[in-house]
Amino acid sequence: MNTFRVLVINSFAKTFQTSCMKCVGSHKRHVFGTIQQRKSKPFPVLDGKVDTSAASFQENAAVMEKFIGNYRKMLAMAQAGGGEKAIERHKVRNKKFLATDRVRLLLDEEDSFLELAPLAGLGMEYGDVARAGVYTGIGKINNKYCMIIANDGTVKGGTVYPITLKKQLRAQEIAEQNRIPCVYVVDSGGAFLPLQAEIFPDKNHGGRSFYNEAIMSAKGIPQVAIVCGNCTAGGAYVPTMTSEAVIIHKIGTIFLGGPPLVKAATGEIVSAEELGGAKMHCSVSGCTDYYAETEEVGFEIGRDIIEGLNLPGHPGPQREPQLPLYDPTELNGLIPARNQHQMDIHKVISRIVDDSRFHEFKKTYGPSLVTGLAHIHGFLTGIVGNKGEITGPAAAKGAHFIQMCCERGIPLIFLQNSAESVAEPTANSGESFGNCLREHAKMMAAVSCAQVPKITVIIGNSIGPSNFLMGGRCMSPNFLFTWPNAVIGLSNTESLVQQISQEKIPKNLNHSEQLALESKIREICQREMSAAYSSTRLLDDGMILPQDTRQVLGKCLDITSAYLKPVASSYPVIRM
């Protein structure tokens, strides 16, 4: 609260006190009570009460438990890395630390780490690639947020599959958008050779990560490497493109072609250490700047490098964080087992925001979109949540609210839950559809041009155009997460199945053959529209549990506020 407002309220209170002294005591307390209350707590409290004993609540929670069980199974597969044999070889024969231990050594506290896309790489057409072969996330080193990209040497020698590349590039994209320094923990055999055609020649293929390093460095986003394994072929450029690199003796090597290739080409027999080891690169080639005898020393040097980056201080949240008044674990029972677009968005918000307080904007206008301000972990945020179809007025309200947040530098949180189906035009509805389309375009323009951080959580359906309007991947949100129950697709599952079946099922098949094919099509559609598919294909930055949403959003808000400066919008807010 600014000083002026405090003074005004105090003098106002004094006036009342003088006049009230003449009155009865209870009157005085009543007047003061009202004023004091408005001073201390902004935004009204939401009613988040639910009947946890209701049959529908229990049924919803039971369905969610199945989704969550599946999520935990996938997470365990991802965390198992390349499997026991590969881990044994990595630790015992190669005498190296695991990627997770390395990240632990770098970080101040493990708790600060926000792992990104842990499920990426499972169930690929070329097999399971645990954690896509690269452990990635954002954590604090010497109290400064850094993006850490650590190859997992236990997954096929840390080689780069198409999904590994996608994950590395996404991590760099997040780093660039949020201006987070990158630390590459390199241990990679370079390209996974059988799939070289899918990772080498195109714009967003292998060389793009080196391009990104240069571009980020030019923008003042520091790039640092710790070489604690092989940097073979293209991998050799990862440390070389950074501004500072550490290499570990007898563990780190950097070369374009290893000893077998040298022997084949020149007949020369040379050891990996002689060809591209720590001593050679620190004293002869100059490709690395710090020599470390052990991994522990190497990661200490890495932490010292971060200290020397002269990164700005972190502004922190505007307010003291407050827990919500309602239990976030109850969210599971609030997600309808059927027709999840009917989820009560206010009850969801009441379990995510501080003190369950929400300052709702245009509550009764376009009510299928809920907009308003709240604090999450003390950060002031603009919340945009949908409950079903985004009508014309709802989109107009969304555009207005988003512009307002941009004018004030308030980050936006999108809670996506669209209608099951996209409304079909009827004969006499041309005008209303045209109007709706126009309003959608306004909201889409506002979302596209928003210069504030955007964080999206798909809490239910992301079907049809609401994916775009509500900060879907195409709108470049700073982060995007999905709940395990999320459904993401062009249209609802059943209409997609019907349309594809009409196209694909030959008319000369008998009825039971047609039904069998239709059910196969349904299975594929359901799989491809699931949160599991989205997360393993890296169409999001991770699947998160409803109960963890507040924690994750709090970390993201902290991260986005660390290095980004508010950009003033160059246009006034236009009332839609």
Q: Contact positions toward ligand COA, by CB under 6 A?
A: 94, 153, 156-157, 159, 189-193, 230, 232-233, 258
H/E stretch holding 454 reads: strand 454-458
- Could you tell me the smallest distance in angstroms from the CB atom of residue 441 to ligand COA? 46
- Could you tell me the smallest distance in angstroms from the CB atom of residue 47 to ligand COA? 57
- Could you tell me the smallest distance in angstroms from the CB atom of residue 229 to ligand COA? 7
Those residues whose C-beta lies under 8 Å from the C-beta of residue 492, and which sit 6 or more positions away, are 420, 421, 422, 461, 463
SS3 352: coil
Our CB check for ligand COA shows the closer of 153 and 392 to be: 153
- Residue 224: strand pairing partners: 183, 244
Amino acid, res. 221: I
Q: Whose CA is closest to 401, among 450, 346, 350, 333?
A: 450
Amino acid, res. 473: R
CA–CA distance, 471 with 483 (Å, rounded to integer): 15
Which residue is associated with the tokens 């990158």?
182
CA–CA distance, 481 with 553 (Å, rounded to integer): 10
DSSP per-residue codes, 59-116: HHHHHHHHHHHHHHHHHHHHHTTT-HHHHHIIIIIS----HHHHHHHHSS-GGG-EE-
- Could you tell me the smallest distance in angstroms from the CB atom of residue 76 to ligand COA? 21
CA–CA distance, 216 with 239 (Å, rounded to integer): 14
Strand order in the sheet with 479-482: 359-361, 369-376, 379-386, 412-416, 454-458, 479-482
Which residue is associated with the tokens 């710090």?
290
Those residues whose C-beta lies under 8 Å from the C-beta of residue 42, and which sit 6 or more positions away, are 357, 359
Which residue is associated with the tokens 């506290």?
109
- Residue 263: strand pairing partners: none
C-beta separation of 175 from 182 below 8 A: yes
- Could you tell me the smallest distance in angstroms from the CB atom of residue 89 to ligand COA? 6
Which residue is associated with the tokens 């594929």?
524
C-beta separation of 145 from 306 below 8 A: no
- Could you tell me the smallest distance in angstroms from the CB atom of residue 78 to ligand COA? 18
Residue 501 neighbours by CB distance under 10 Å: 17
- Could you tell me the smallest distance in angstroms from the CB atom of residue 535 to ligand COA? 25
Our CB check for ligand COA shows the closer of 97 and 414 to be: 97
**Which residue number has the CB closest to ligand COA?**
189
- Could you tell me the smallest distance in angstroms from the CB atom of residue 44 to ligand COA? 59
Q: Is the dihedral of CA 287, 288, 293, 295 positive or negative?
A: negative
Our CB check for ligand COA shows the closer of 13 and 77 to be: 77
- Could you tell me the smallest distance in angstroms from the CB atom of residue 242 to ligand COA? 20
CA–CA distance, 179 with 369 (Å, rounded to integer): 31
CA–CA distance, 486 with 473 (Å, rounded to integer): 14
Token pair belonging to 219: 């923008």
- Could you tell me the smallest distance in angstroms from the CB atom of residue 230 to ligand COA? 4
CA–CA distance, 302 with 137 (Å, rounded to integer): 16
What does the chain come to in residues?
Answer: 576
Our CB check for ligand COA shows the closer of 153 and 181 to be: 153
- Could you tell me the smallest distance in angstroms from the CB atom of residue 263 to ligand COA? 13
C-beta separation of 473 from 519 below 8 A: no
Those residues whose C-beta lies under 8 Å from the C-beta of residue 387, and which sit 6 or more positions away, are 341, 342, 343, 344, 345, 368, 369, 370, 417
- Could you tell me the smallest distance in angstroms from the CB atom of residue 128 to ligand COA? 13
C-beta separation of 356 from 422 below 8 A: no
- Could you tell me the smallest distance in angstroms from the CB atom of residue 186 to ligand COA? 12
Our CB check for ligand COA shows the closer of 168 and 232 to be: 232
C-beta separation of 96 from 187 below 8 A: yes
SS3 251: coil
- Could you tell me the smallest distance in angstroms from the CB atom of residue 192 to ligand COA? 5
Our CB check for ligand COA shows the closer of 157 and 489 to be: 157
